Amino acid sequence: MELPLPKVRRADHHDARRLAELAEETFRATFGAANTAEDMDLHCRTNYGEAIQAGELANPDMVTLLSEEDGRLIGFAQLRWGGAPDCVKASAPGEILRLYVARDWHGKGVAPMLMRACLEAMAARGADVAWLGVWERNPRAIAFYRKFGFVEVGDHVFPVGSDPQRDIVMARPVVP
Ligand SMILES: CC(C)(COP(=O)(O)OP(=O)(O)OC[C@H]1O[C@@H](n2cnc3c(N)ncnc32)[C@H](O)[C@@H]1OP(=O)(O)O)[C@@H](O)C(=O)NCCC(=O)NCCS
């Protein structure tokens, strides 16, 4: 018998510390082997920490969604409203800034639930196009986004520490 999937909920300010921990843990698990320790440490210092994630949770132009199992955070997604690269053709773009699932939950339906919740939150906010940047050397994530109808529309630079990496920019209509 299939076990029910953990539900997705909106994060609030109480979640800052655990969100920071999961964000750093999953970033390191995903990219640690392909980057220098110095670049990883610099990136993590400047992007993750209770105060940084608390600021994101308080930002009215961001929404954070969490998936939780038995009190443990196992996945999160963060949406951001604001600018988009020129290659994204939209009147009201919404960015999927981060979407990360703990490794032991890959392939088990958590990421699709988070993605569906992202698209619902985008629709609720009136976004017409969802876009994201994904490292060109992250084939699993690219395949995942393609499954959800995202197509490549351009690229941009995403610095990890001192390394300017090429991110593929992908986009799709929020409502197909
Ligand atoms: C990206 C992520 C959220 C996707 O969640 P997931 O549960 O792994 O996704 P799914 O298993 O539903 O889909 C992944 C697809 O990629 C395929 N895949 C796996 N490894 C692959 C590879 N090396 N190359 C190409 N496709 C691959 C899988 O077969 C699957 O497709 P299928 O459902 O048709 O079989 C998750 O892998 C993750 O958290 N990764 C680490 C963080 C990350 O990279 N986040 C994105 C940053 S932009």
Ligand 1 pocket test target in 26, 105, 142, 144 with most atoms within 8 Å of CB: 144
In sequence order, the 6+-apart residues with CB closer than 8 A to the CB of 156 are: 85, 133, 166, 167, 169
Average pLDDT over the chain reads 95
Token pair in block for residue 67 = 């998936």
* CA 144 to ligand 1 centroid distance, Å: 5
Q: How far apart are CA 149 and CA 141, in angstroms?
A: 13
Evaluate: CB of 32 within 6 angstroms of ligand 1: no
* CA 147 to ligand 1 centroid distance, Å: 10
- Name the pLDDT band for 1 (thresholds 50, 70, 90): low
- Residue range 89-121, pLDDT digits in tens: 999 999 999 999 999 999 999 999 999 999 999
